Amino acid sequence: MTVHLWLRAETKPMEERTALPPEHAKQLLAAGYKITVEHCPQRIFSIDDYAQIGCEIAAAHSWQDSAPQDAIILGLKEFNAEVTFPLSHRHIQFAHAYKEQQGWQEVLSRFTRGNGTLYDIEFLVDPQGRRVAAFGYWAGYSGCAVSVLSWIAKQNGTDLGPLSSYPDREALLAEIRIQLAQLSIKPKIIIIGAKGRCGTGALDLATALDIEVSPWDAAETSSGGPFQEILAHDIFVNCVFIQQMIPPFITREMLAAKTGRLQVICDVSCDPFGEYNPLPIYSECTDFNQPTVVLENSADVSLVAIDHLPSLLPKESSEDFCSQLMATLKTLDDIDNGVWGRAKDTFLQKSAQLN
């Protein structure tokens, strides 16, 4: 049976990434897949790029009424919370619902009410439990970049304004270098989780800008937080993916003491609603229109907590992500087994926890 993959439009503001760039769609077409691509004006790739290689083109959000039941709906970010109709298709996307995040029951109930299935991208794993595809590197890279831009703005007596995407990392680096050159100092950064994919991205950004970094990982955090050493840095970038309860890395009390030199915190992991959050100092995410907020009762410390940071570099991050995912996409004709079978099992286990 022919696999029909339906690439839906994204709804999140400034979500320019896609789970399937044209060059990867071309490979799946050659493998015999049928691919429908919805119009999406904010997508980094033109709809013409898809039409020229033989994809069928559909109106934005038309999957809701027009996608056949056997089509697999492919997207990236979660649906708008205010849209609550039951979901009857099979969906591949990030749902942010398996760690009991805010609203998780409503998210999963849409699938159970419609007899649909969620294949959460975060939980597409190999037999050893390792993720087969992730945006982690680009989240760390972009998060560190936004942190440096925020720090520069502070040196100029202002807050970082709205952000827009960059065509590639060289354009991003060029802008930061110009702004840094106007200052007589550079920040000192501490990265926690420096050896992971996310931390590697953050470290690469800092290295490209010749910024001093304290790269922390498991060895440095094994004693358990909070860590006063964070306050000895200008920027703190958290790149740790937490799956169990641990002591916090930093606390409201530490910030309230108003000591040290810390000016910017970037929570790349960005899970303020999860019970395992190691940065229990905020309760709302920021976004590209307002990338920072000043933390209450602190010495004017700014927080960056954007939950789709790789959108700062949408072309490179999309291409890299799908290159990781391609081998798994090519097994969709055996969706009940392997990576997909494990993802469905996870969905069923989590759905069983609904009240």
Answer yes or no: is pLDDT of 274 > 80.
Answer: no
Which residues fall within 8 angstroms of residue 113, CB to CB, at 6 or more apart? 86, 87
Q: Does residue 201 sit in the same domain as residue 229?
A: yes
Q: Does residue 292 sit in the same domain as residue 321?
A: no
Instruction: Report the pLDDT value the prediction gives residue 266, as an integer from 0 to 100.
Output: 99
Over residues 116-124, the mean pLDDT reads: 98
| CATH classification of the domain holding 293 | 3.40.50.720
Over residues 65-71, the mean pLDDT reads: 98
Helix ranges restricted to H, 279-337: 314-329
pLDDT tens string 26-38: 999 999 999 999 9
Instruction: Report the pLDDT value the prediction gives residue 168, as an integer from 0 to 100.
Output: 97
| Residue 29 counted as domain residue | yes
Answer yes or no: is pLDDT of 255 > 80.
Answer: yes
| Residue 130 counted as domain residue | no
- The residue behind tokens 């030199």 is 261
* Band of residue 102 on the pLDDT scale cut at 50, 70, 90: confident
Q: Does residue 26 sit in the same domain as residue 65?
A: yes
* Band of residue 272 on the pLDDT scale cut at 50, 70, 90: confident
Instruction: Report the pLDDT value the prediction gives residue 224, as an integer from 0 to 100.
Output: 94
Instruction: Report the pLDDT value the prediction gives residue 103, as an integer from 0 to 100.
Output: 86
Instruction: Report the pLDDT value the prediction gives residue 275, as an integer from 0 to 100.
Output: 77
Instruction: Report the pLDDT value the prediction gives residue 271, as an integer from 0 to 100.
Output: 83
> Which residues are known catalytic residues?
77, 96
The total number of structural domains that make up the chain: 2
What 23-29 contacts at long range (C-beta under 8 Å, 24+ apart), as own/partner pairs, is 23/319, 24/319, 24/322, 24/323, 24/326, 24/329, 25/50, 25/53, 25/55, 26/53, 26/54, 27/326, 28/3, 28/329, 28/330, 29/53, 29/54, 29/55
Q: Does residue 75 sit in the same domain as residue 192?
A: no
Answer yes or no: is pLDDT of 80 > 90.
Answer: no
Q: Does residue 213 sit in the same domain as residue 288?
A: yes
| Residue 128 counted as domain residue | no
Answer yes or no: is pLDDT of 99 > 90.
Answer: no
Q: Is 204 helix (H, G, I), strand (E, B) or coil?
A: helix
Plot region of 297 (φ>0 → left; ψ -120 to 50 → alpha; else → beta): left
Q: Does residue 151 sit in the same domain as residue 248?
A: yes
Answer yes or no: is pLDDT of 10 > 80.
Answer: yes
Over residues 227-249, the mean pLDDT reads: 93
| Residue 200 counted as domain residue | yes
Instruction: Report the pLDDT value the prediction gives residue 20, as an integer from 0 to 100.
Output: 99
Query: Can you spell out the DSSP letters for 19-42?
Result: SS-HHHHHHHHHTT-EEEEE--TT
| Residue 131 counted as domain residue | no
- What torsion do the CA atoms of 68, 69, 72, 74 make, to the nearest 10 degrees? 70
Query: Can you spell out the DSSP letters for 133-169?
Result: ---HHHHHHHHHHHHHHHHHHHHTTS--------SSH
* Band of residue 200 on the pLDDT scale cut at 50, 70, 90: very high
| Residue 100 counted as domain residue | yes
| Residue 151 counted as domain residue | yes
Q: Does residue 173 sit in the same domain as residue 240?
A: yes
Q: Does residue 51 sit in the same domain as residue 103?
A: yes
pLDDT tens string 281-298: 999 999 999 999 999 999
Over residues 97-120, the mean pLDDT reads: 92
**E runs forming strands in the chain:** 4-7, 34-38, 56-58, 72-74, 90-93, 117-120, 188-192, 212-216, 235-238, 264-267, 292-294, 302-304
As a whole number, the mean pLDDT across the chain is 96
* Band of residue 17 on the pLDDT scale cut at 50, 70, 90: very high
Q: Does residue 79 sit in the same domain as residue 193?
A: no
How many whole angstroms from its chain centre is CA 324? 15
Q: Does residue 99 sit in the same domain as residue 203?
A: no
* Band of residue 130 on the pLDDT scale cut at 50, 70, 90: very high
- Residues of the chain with pLDDT > 90, as a percent, come to 91
Instruction: Report the pLDDT value the prediction gives residue 87, as an integer from 0 to 100.
Output: 97
Q: Does residue 307 sit in the same domain as residue 321?
A: no
How many whole angstroms from its chain centre is CA 178? 27
Q: Does residue 156 sit in the same domain as residue 283?
A: yes
| Residue 211 counted as domain residue | yes
Structural domain that includes position 330: 4-123+314-351
